[in-house]
Amino acid sequence: MTGQDPSLKLGDHQFGASGEIRRAVLRTLFQQMESMGEGAIAVDAQARVAWINEKYARKLGLATTAEAIGREIEQIIPNSLMRQVVQTGEPVLLDIMEFGAEQLVVTRMPLTDTAGAVVGAVGFVVYDRVHYLKPLVAKFEHLHQELESARRHVAEGRHARYTFASVVGASPACVELKRQARRAAQLDATVLLLGETGTGKELLAHAIHAASPRNLKPFVALNIAAVPESLLEAEFFGAAPGAYTGADRRGRDGKFKLADGGTLFLDEVGDMPLNVQAKLLRVLQEQEIEPLGSNRLLRVDVRVIAATSVDLEAQVRQGRFRADLYYRLNVLSIALPPLRDRLQDLAALVELFLAQISERSGLPQREITEQGLAALAGHGWPGNIRELRNVLEKAVMLSEERRLDAADFRPLLPTAATAAPAAGHLLADAVVEAERDAIQAALAAAGGNRSKAAQLLGISRATLYEKLARSPGGQTG
């Protein structure tokens, strides 16, 4: 029976006369599969062997093909799934079949008559060695790993990167700030963060989300000042395919859709154009968005945290910000103190930033002298914490000394550099006194536990012991 077409032999009376082209296609396809593979076999509707080619018979240890004809498929191939294909009518397109010590890569397909009824199945051994598939499997695994990596990257980018542990400081202003923020985290209401530029509004927004019941859902941030006015609506609400010239043909999701179930942080909300303010107000009231170019309303469940460094009340009086939107955003407001009002936290912030700069740059860990700290305390810090980090990073890059002194900040802080020596001593005394007060407050809050007090201050335990040793009262709590 070698060379005969089992699909035709099985189906002359079942497939019927369906035209020369159909028969030619079936014959050619079968012959190609048989010649390219390592073996072929066909069974009837009772999963009995109806045909097997000589190549496969030899591989199975049969003297002739006739030994297999009429026998149950499992008598010839114990691990065969051909009966399953006949019973379900579903193909098994790629499988690895164990046969003795060999692993065969096989494909199995049902055979049907012109009415669609299953009349048998045909199987081909594509490869007799699994290693032929290794390049394909390796490519699949590589693509799968890239996809998982991309998913993790997206997930990480849309979740909070900071917690309240990232808010460093134990000054009364910082302690009160964290108290208000923790309370806001548990209330599912809109929050308005008010503060000068660089005071850490986005970090606090991350922390609020991380401590809220929405913490497993996305955290999405949008800096309104960084988006051109013409694109702001699309950023907010998304766009239907081809909504405007240059739009993505597949459409795109807006930030509200991306943040569904979680938190949307709107930075520099005071820079929002009036026409967009009206649409944002409607979303906050109705929890519905309408993508550009679409007539569909989409329901969203988003908690909004807004932030601004401008006086929104003055903006309202000047007609540059809608009063109704202001009241809608200002449900819970938190004012972030400027750095000059929390100089007690200066030492802890400096130590944290110096450690981060060292880790990121690979440069040796730096410390700061009392004179250096006094020079920093004498600066007005219009850029607040962001400016402090920038100044410290510049000082680390420019200085080769292990300890940063006041001289290292002279080119960077003109105000501190020109201060009179007496003023410098006064500032140094003020810093020492502020440190002492902060340490005593932290020790009291920690019940005298110095390790816990160091955590509250955002400094290492060794640094705490060093500061206690330098204080007028020695190592006392």
State the average pLDDT over residues 269-298.
Answer: 89
Give me the helices (H) in 72-162, please. 73-76, 82-88, 134-157
What is the DSSP secondary-structure string of 22-85? HHHHHHHHHHHHHHHSSEEEEEETTSBEEEE-HHHHHHTT-SSGGGTTTSBHHHH-TT--HHHH
Shared-domain flag, residues 212 and 178: yes
Region 425-446: what's the mean pLDDT?
A: 67
> Per the domain annotation, does 153 fall within a domain?
no
**Residue 218 scores a pLDDT above 70:** yes
Within this chain, do residues 331 and 184 fall inside the same structural domain, yes or no?
Answer: yes
The answer, yes or no, to whether residue 378 has pLDDT greater than 70, is yes
- Expressed as residue numbers, the domain containing 54 is 6-133
CB neighbours of residue 324 within 10 Å? 13
Is residue 64 domain-shared with residue 176, that is, in the same domain? no
Say yes or no: 212 and 321 in one domain: yes
When pLDDT is cut at 50, 70 and 90, the band that residue 248 belongs to is: low
> Domain end: 285, 317, 337, which one?
337
Average pLDDT over residues 138-148: 62
Q: Are residue 357 and residue 333 in the same domain, yes or no?
A: no
Residue 145 domain-assigned (yes or no): no
| pLDDT, tens only, 31-67 | 777 777 788 999 999 999 999 999 889 988 899 999 9
List C-alpha distances in Å: 16 to 7, 9, 19, 49, 113.
Answer: 12, 11, 9, 22, 8
pLDDT at 343 over 80: yes
142 within domain boundaries: no
Q: Is 143 domain-assigned?
A: no
pLDDT given at position 424: 43
Residues 26 and 57 in one domain: yes
194 beta partners: 308, 335
Task: Look up the CATH number of the domain holding residue 372.
Answer: 1.10.8.60
CATH of the domain at 37: 3.30.450.20
pLDDT digits (tens, 9 = 90+) for 60-82: 889 999 999 999 999 999 889 99
Is the residue at 330 inside a domain? yes
Question: 94 lies in a domain?
Answer: yes
pLDDT of 301 reads: 94
Residue at token pair 């601004």 = 308
Tell me what pLDDT residue 425 has: 47
Instruction: For residues 396 and 330, state if they share a domain.
Output: no
Total number of domains in the chain: 3
Instruction: Judge if 303 and 168 occupy the same domain.
Output: yes
Does residue 447 sit in the same domain as residue 433? yes
Q: What global pTM score does this model have?
A: 0.57
Flag the least confident range among 18-27, 113-122, 143-152, 287-296.
143-152
Do residue 359 and residue 461 come from a single domain?
Answer: yes
Nearest alpha carbon to residue 224 among 216, 213, 232: 232
Burial of 390 (0-12, 13-18, 19+ CB in 10 A): middle
The answer to whether residues 272 and 232 touch, using CB atoms and an 8 Å cutoff, is yes
| Domain annotation covers residue 159 | no
Q: What mean pLDDT is reported for the chain?
A: 82
Q: Are strands 367-368 and 39-44 parallel, antiparallel or unpaired?
A: unpaired
Do 89 and 237 reside in the same domain of the chain? Answer: no
% of the chain residues with pLDDT over 70? 79
pLDDT of residue 101: 72
- Using DSSP bridges, classify how beta strands 118-127 and 39-44 pair: parallel, antiparallel or unpaired: antiparallel
* Contact assessment for residue 219 and residue 206, using Cβ atoms and an 8 Å cutoff: yes
Residue 43 in any domain: the answer is: yes
Give CA–CA dist 198/76, Å, rounded: 77
> What is the C-alpha to C-alpha distance for residues 133 and 130, in angstroms, rounded to an integer?
6
User: For residues 134 and 240, what is the distance between their CA atoms, to the nearest angstrom?
Assistant: 42
